[in-house]
Amino acid sequence: MALQLFKIADTTVGSPVNTISFSNIPSGYTDLKVVFSLRNDVASPQGTCNIRFNSDTGNNYTYRRLYGNGSSAASDTGAATNNLAFTFLVGATATSNTFSNWELYIPNYTSSNYKSMSFDAAHETNSTTAYLTMYAALWSNSSAISSIVCETFGQNFVTNTTVTLYGVL
């Protein structure tokens, strides 16, 4: 049996939006993989993308994060809150035409266990400061993942942002 990535859905932003959603995710795959190329319009070199599963707004999201910015490395913990805040998204004052490249991998997304996931993020803008980031993240919910919402609160994802959802077999 060959491992295959099946494109379940994708989004290319044609005009700025603050939310990108995938709903009715089928349960017939073993894992999910989400690939992002994105930038937002916050007046800063970097912004944030907030992710929720199944529209769950409870305080069920946590993470451990490791990141380096070109001069130092650090690690921190995201206390239980109502979304997964993935940081160091390229913002409006970063170098033109640069986009963050991210990958979120979710094994066993239909299992009855809590959902662990692995996240890698690149924020490289040819500036003095850029970020390489890794997360161990958890959604403390035993439901199968059937929807994913990516939101940049109070801001917008800019034109040409792309997000692709794959099912892994």
Name the site residues for other proteins (rule: CB under 8 A). 1-4, 31, 62-68, 72-77, 105, 107-108, 111, 113-120, 134-138, 140
The owner of tokens 């017939």 is: 28
Q: Which is nearer to other proteins, 142 or 159 (CB)?
A: 142
Between 43 and 74, name the residue whose CB sits nearer to other proteins: 74
CA–CA gap between residue 147 and residue 124 (Å, rounded): 29
Nearer to other proteins, 16 or 107 (CB): 107
Rounded Cα distance, 122 and 134, in Å = 9
* Burial class, 122, CB count within 10 angstroms (exposed 0-12 / middle 13-18 / buried 19+): middle
Which one, of 127, 146, 130, lies nearest residue 24 by Cα?
146
Nearest-approach distance from CB 154 to other proteins, in angstroms: 27
Least Å distance between CB 110 and other proteins?
12
Minimum distance between the CB of residue 84 and other proteins, rounded to whole angstroms?
Answer: 11
User: Quick one: 59 or 95, whose CB is closer to other proteins?
Assistant: 59
State the nearest-atom distance from the C-beta of 9 to other proteins, in Å. 22
- Choose between 95 and 120: whose C-beta lies nearer to other proteins: 120
Closest CA to 86 of 50, 42, 56: 50
Alpha-carbon separation of residue 135 from 7, 76, 105, 129 (angstroms): 24, 10, 11, 19
Taking the CA atoms of 43, 45, 101 and 88 in sequence, report the sign of the dihedral they define.
negative
Q: Give min distance, CB of 29 to other proteins, in A.
A: 13
